Amino acid sequence: DSGVTQTPKHLITATGQRVTLRCSPRSGDLSVYWYQQSLDQGLQFLIQYYNGEERAKGNILERFSAQQFPDLHSELNLSSLELGDSALYFCASSEGLAVYNEQFFGPGTRLTVL
Amino acid sequence: AQSVTQLGSHVSVSEGALVLLRCNYSSSVPPYLFWYVQYPNQGLQLLLKYTTGATLVKGINGFEAEFKKSETSFHLTKPSAHMSDAAEYFCAVKLGGAQKLVFGQGTRLTINP
C-alpha cells in the first residue's frame, strides 16, 4: 500500500459526459501528479500540482482540468468524454519538488467510456 | 523524440533463470532513472532508482540495474526469476530538472515454470 488513495476504482460512463476522479496523497506529500495509461499512448504525464498551485503541464487535453485543494487532495475533471479517453488514470504524490523525490502511485481509476 | 526506449514488449524466462530487461534513454545531460513494476490491477511500485553516485543500483525483490553512460542504458537484472516476478516493468526518466516521469512503453515479463 503506497498510501495514495484514488476513488472511484472503476467508472463507466457515456460519450459526452463529465466525470471527476479524486486523489488523496500520502500524508505529508505536497506534490500531486496525474498520469494516463492507455494501450496506444502508454503512460503519459498529464499535470502536476504543488501545494495547491499548478506546477507543470504535460499532454493534457483542454477538455481535462485538475485542481489541488487546501487539504492537498486533488481532483481530475474530464469533460465531453470521447471513446478514446478510456484509460487507467493514476495519481502519484511526492514529498516536495526535489527531482530525486520518489513518486508514490495510487491504484488508479479505470475509466470506460461507452 | 522518444526519451526512453524499452527493447522488447514481452520477455519470457524460465523460473530460476536470469532476468534481463533492457532500457535505453536519450539525453544530453545525465538523467535520473527509475524502474517501476506494475502487477495486474495495481498501481506502479518503485523497484529502484539512479540519481547520482554508484552506477550499480540495488532495488527491492532482488533486482538491480546498472547505469552505463557510454551506452545510455539502464538495464534491469535479477539473477534468478521467481513466479511472483511476473508483471509489467517500466523504465522511466526525469529530464532537465523536471519532476515529471517520462515512461518507456513497458515490458511484460512472463515466468515459465
- Considering only CB atoms, which chain A residues are within 8 Å of B105? 42
Q: Which of residues 76-105 of A touch B (CB under 8 A)?
A: 90, 92, 94, 97, 99-105
Instruction: Report the chain A residue with the minimal C-alpha distance to residue B92.
Output: A43
- In this prediction, residue A60 carries a pLDDT of 94
CB pairs under 8 A between A and B: 58
What integer is the mean pLDDT of B91-101? 87
List C-alpha distances in Å: B109 to A49, B18, B90, B106: 33, 12, 11, 10
Distance between CA atoms of A47 and A42, rounded to whole angstroms? 16
Residue B101, all three cell numbers: 516521469
Across the interface, whether the CB atoms of B42 and A106 are under 8 A apart is answered no
One-letter amino acid of B24: N
Residue A74, all three cell numbers: 486533488
Across the interface, whether the CB atoms of A42 and B101 are under 8 A apart is answered no
- Considering only CB atoms, which chain A residues are within 8 Å of B45? 2, 105
- In this prediction, residue A96 carries a pLDDT of 86
Across the interface, whether the CB atoms of B103 and A103 are under 8 A apart is answered no
Give residue-wise pLDDT tens across range B55-84: 899 999 999 999 999 999 999 999 999 999
DSSP calls for B36-69: EEE-TTS-EEEEEEE-SS-SEEE-GGG-EEEEEG
- Considering only CB atoms, which chain A residues are within 8 Å of B49? 100, 102
Inter-residue contact B32 to B45 (CB < 8 Å) = no
> Three-class SS of residue A33?
strand
What's the distance, CA A63 to chain centroid? 14
DSSP calls for A75-113: EEEE-S--GGG-EEEEEEEESSS-TTPPPEE---EEEEE
Number of CB atoms found within 10 A of residue B84's CB: 9
User: Which pLDDT band holds residue B31 (cuts at 50, 70, 90)?
Assistant: confident
Q: Give the list of residues 6+ apart from residue A64 with CB closer than 8 angstroms, or none.
A: A46, A47, A76, A77, A78, A79
User: Which pLDDT band holds residue B1 (cuts at 50, 70, 90)?
Assistant: low
Nearest CB partner across the interface for B99, out of A31, A107, A108: A31
Q: What is the pLDDT along chain A (114 residues), one digit of tens a residue?
A: 889 999 999 999 999 999 999 999 999 999 999 999 998 899 999 999 999 999 999 989 999 999 999 999 999 999 999 999 999 999 999 998 888 888 999 999 999 999
Number of CB atoms found within 10 A of residue A58's CB: 17
- Considering only CB atoms, which chain A residues are within 8 Å of B100? 33, 45, 48, 56, 58
Across the interface, whether the CB atoms of B99 and A101 are under 8 A apart is answered yes
Cα-Cα-Cα-Cα dihedral sign, residues B52, B53, B57, B60 = negative
